[in-house]
Structure 1
Amino acid sequence: MTTEVRSLREFRMPDVGEGLTEAEILSWYVKPGDTVTDGQVVCEVETAKAAVELPIPFNGVVEQLFFPEGATVDVGTVIISVAVAGEAGAAAPAVAAAPAAPAPAPAPAEAEPERREVLVGYGPRTGGSQRRARRTTTTTVIAPAPVPVPAVVVPVSVPVPVPVVPEQPSGDRPLAKPPVRKLAKDLGIDLRAVTPTGPDGVITREDVHAHASAAAAVAAAADAPAPVAAAEPVSVSGSGDVRVPIKGVRKATAQAMVSSAFTAPHVTEFVQVDVTRTMRFVRRLKESGELGRDIRVSPLLLVAKALLTAIKRHPEINAQWDEAAQEIVIKGQVNLGIAAATPRGLIVPNIKDAGAKTLSGLAAALGELIDTARQGKTSPADMQGGTVTITNVGVFGVDTGTPILNPGEAAILAFGAVRELPWVHKGKVVPRQVTTLALSFDHRLVDGELGSRVLADVAALLERPKRLITWG
């Protein structure tokens, strides 16, 4: 006689290394009864920083989904259970297996074995026979005919109604190895949109790169001026109030802005700039294609280059306040953040070591950052470590504002709308293209002189963009 052993493995909401306390389940990719394999992505969740896909760390059959889509779950809470097949072995003879009296059923109130919270990545794996023996199991014993003992079934657990989740076909998950999945995630590419060329429909690295190149070409052809997609408006009908839950990115942004506003003493300075030559320079770069045919060129690119050049001349503004050590830390590289309004809220991904990039390299990095933000695929790593930020309020037709610093940063530059205004040029009042820049800075780190010099340098570079070459 053989004994079939089955055990339940539970997968808890991980922290994915961000130090967060909760996440919202955006979508499930599996349903009860589906077979899953080690490394397969089972759901997508949204943390306070980004959307993240979660892979399951073992093989088995999905037993239960504990939360529906849209639910906010604390880190360490079980979100899915999987029935895992154990080893089969020879059992004792049926006569010996049948006790004189029925064996008592496991007490339903028996405490579950202590588990460690899954806080990073897949979390701790279960190993060794001691751990496996403590889990509740299902044992099926088939008795021979001569023995008047019916088959005994010890259930794994009492059936619990599964929360309602949208049905999804089990075969719509793209096939790809973990390194390929990571590459697609870093590039902000949805694997379901990639055409596979590998054996048995497996997506390869070449497939991902080919899809990325095609997407970049389409984006460059579109050349949309807005850097990001605006959030979807809330539909309001009648005179009743509408309540919008504060969670995910919006909740994190609110907490960060309150912390920044009441921690760092903000100072904001403004300057109006004649950017007629800058706009001409942008048109020339577009028409000539000298930065590359697939490179998107916009006024934001030259504003970013001007700010990076000013920081190179005044590196003290690229700093952070270390409260514990009571020190000002001047950063070795500029990680330039670009504020992006997405349907999930405001995020600020940054270009790593932006100050070391050429104009062409900066344009390529800026285009990739914008495309990834539009697709909602910005990774947590892309939003960490920023040192200085630009917010482009001009795309909404706004002239200027007093931007609030990102926590830990010393300065943020607001780029307003470019308008044709009367301007004194070479002794005459003529129509010129003018914008307003606003620089907010932490007065603990940046005094009025340093902030004024940086803002004046940015303005001078945009008035005469050829200085970007000589100053840079």
Structure 2
Amino acid sequence: MPDYKQFPLADTAEGLTEAEILNWHVQPGDEVQVNQIVVEVETAKAAVELPIPWSGVVTELHAEPGQTVEVGAPLLTLDIDPRGKAPAAGGANGSAPAAPSTSETAEAPAEEEMKPLVGYGSKKAAAKRRPRKPAAATASDGPSGAVNAPPKAPEPPAPAAPAPATNGTAPAGGYVPLAKPPVRKLAKELGVDLRDLAQRVDGVITREDVQRAAEGAAPEPAAAEPVAEPVLDPAARERRVPVKGVRKATATAMVQSAFSAPHVTEFLTVDVTPMMEMRERLKRSPAFAGVRLTPLAFAAKAVCLAVKRTPDVNAEWDEDTGEIVYKDYVHLGIAAATPRGLIVPKIRDADSMSLVELARALDELTTTAREGKTPPGDMVNGTITITNVGVFGVDTGTPIINPGETAILAFGAIRDTPWVVDGEITVRKVLQLALSFDHRVVDGQQGSQFLADVGALLADPSVAFTF
């Protein structure tokens, strides 16, 4: 008999509460194996591919692309015994018991904790589902029957559900009509049934198809729809984009930091000509062969060295306990601009790394971030951050401290600038640094000392021998 399990959305990183479905890798009727990637979701920190902990056949998808799902809510239902191999406890007449209802299967995650997969685990949580309108079952329905529930009684094993036909007809088994999230939202607002409309539209359902259906007109064959864009109001030159994912998390964190930690920002202009000359020498040395040595690597090393003399900038203000937590390690955050927004992945134990190791770590970190593949675990528990505004040609700024940290350093653009050396004006490589710090933890003297140390190390790398 069938044995149904529901795969819930786990907390893929510390403190997440929800995620948006980006892309399904399976459909009802597909057979899956243990640890197979079944769905890609976007959390408040990154895009994450989720593997499933069981083998079986997918019977139902509980959310559509573009829909937000709460942690603990079911993502899909799986029949882990599609061929009826599990023994069935029949009644007196030998008949098999009825298949579990949706409400019964919804409790499965609470009864059995999932095993950790690819570096993260799930938390036991009651499955929360947003109300959905049930779809009527038809004689041709596959394993799911109605859209939201498993079948009422076991049926003989059926082959995997076929792929959607090219004419857009919605096949049995809970097939989700082809339409983008803004189109689905419009259909919901206008009361248009996309499953019914899919039988009359060739290909992807468009906004025009939905509007014609709402007006009672027959839909016309749809042309190729452009790449998904925010919904445009033709009556006004405005765009409205929902605030979610990375942008929502960034906004929440910045507001929390700006209005809880008293920020102070100090600035320093530095002649880094000796550092740039050293960089050119090291790039030609065998030890740095194949290594992308950037000025940011020197800044990272300078921060790690300066922290040893001013550990307060690497501490944390614990509001709950009324304590300052001093950390004898540096998990260095590097602010990175990505297509999904600003993220801050960390280099763990950066203070224990050499310059060449920091250069390699920075190259790997930025490449992974731009590809949207940074694991959520790499973006938590930082101790101090560098934001490289110079990469955009910006001289400096007043950065906001990341929550849970005490200081952040802005690294500006390096420019050829007239500079006085030994009483003579000459052209030098000059940059500006800006340090924002939490004045509850760091006094002006400590902040100034740290910034001066970083500047001294960048102006003359040989100063490192005195630290």
**Structure 1 residue 161, shift from structure 2 partner:** 4.1
Is 1:29 aligned to residue 25 of structure 2? yes
Question: Are 1:7 and 1:138, in contact at CA under 8 Å, matched by a contact in 2?
Answer: no
Question: Are 2:272 and 2:458, in contact at CA under 8 Å, matched by a contact in 1?
Answer: yes
Match of 1:138 in 2: 153
Match of 2:121 in 1: 121
Cα distance between partner residues in 1 of 2:358 and 2:97: 71
Which amino acid is 1:356 matched to?
S
Change in CA separation of 1:110 and 1:343 when aligned onto 2, cut-off 3 Å = closer
Match of 2:59 in 1: 63
SS in 1 for 2:278: helix
Match of 2:363 in 1: 367
Aligned residues: 370
Larger relative contact order (Cα-Cα within 8 Å, sequence gap ≥ 6): 1
Runs of at least 5 residues in structure 2 that lack an aligned partner in the other structure: 115-119, 126-149, 157-171, 180-227
Change in CA separation of 1:360 and 1:91 when aligned onto 2, cut-off 3 Å = closer
Between stretches 316-325 and 386-395, larger displacement belongs to: 316-325
Question: Are 1:36 and 1:61, in contact at CA under 8 Å, matched by a contact in 2?
Answer: yes
SS in 2 for 1:264: coil
Cα distance between partner residues in 1 of 2:293 and 2:103: 65
**Structure 1 residue 70, shift from structure 2 partner:** 2.5
SS in 2 for 1:363: helix
Match of 1:261 in 2: 258
Cα distance between partner residues in 1 of 2:329 and 2:362: 17
1:245 to 242, 245, 258: 242
Cα distance between partner residues in 2 of 1:428 and 1:93: 100
Change in CA separation of 1:308 and 1:89 when aligned onto 2, cut-off 3 Å = closer
Which amino acid is 1:259 matched to?
Q
1:299-310 alignment runs, 5 A limit = 299-310=295-306
SS in 2 for 1:58: coil
**Structure 1 residue 374, shift from structure 2 partner:** 1.9
Match of 2:146 in 1: none
Which amino acid is 1:368 matched to?
E
SS in 1 for 2:425: strand
Match of 1:7 in 2: 3
1:253-402 alignment runs, 5 A limit = 253-286=250-283, 288-402=284-398
Runs of at least 5 residues in structure 1 that lack an aligned partner in the other structure: 126-134, 142-158, 167-231
Cα distance per residue 1:409-452 (max 9 Å; x no partner): 11100011111121111101122121110000000000000000
Which amino acid is 1:71 matched to?
Q
Match of 2:85 in 1: 87
Change in CA separation of 1:34 and 1:269 when aligned onto 2, cut-off 3 Å = same
Question: Are 1:394 and 1:418, in contact at CA under 8 Å, matched by a contact in 2?
Answer: yes
Question: Are 1:7 and 1:84, in contact at CA under 8 Å, matched by a contact in 2?
Answer: yes
Question: Are 1:390 and 1:415, in contact at CA under 8 Å, matched by a contact in 2?
Answer: yes
Cα distance between partner residues in 2 of 1:7 and 1:294: 54
Question: Are 1:423 and 1:429, in contact at CA under 8 Å, matched by a contact in 2?
Answer: yes
Cα distance between partner residues in 2 of 1:285 and 1:92: 76
**Structure 1 residue 114, shift from structure 2 partner:** 4.0
Question: Are 2:386 and 2:410, in contact at CA under 8 Å, matched by a contact in 1?
Answer: yes
SS in 1 for 2:367: helix
Change in CA separation of 1:90 and 1:262 when aligned onto 2, cut-off 3 Å = closer
Question: Are 2:28 and 2:174, in contact at CA under 8 Å, matched by a contact in 1?
Answer: no
Greater strand fraction, Structure 1 or Structure 2: 1
Query: What's the RMSD between the two structures over aligned residues?
Result: 3.4
Between stretches 403-412 and 24-33, larger displacement belongs to: 24-33
Structure-2-length-normalised TM-score: 0.72
Cα distance between partner residues in 1 of 2:90 and 2:439: 79
Which amino acid is 1:246 matched to?
V
Cα distance between partner residues in 2 of 1:109 and 1:356: 53
Between stretches 288-297 and 319-328, larger displacement belongs to: 288-297
Match of 2:189 in 1: none
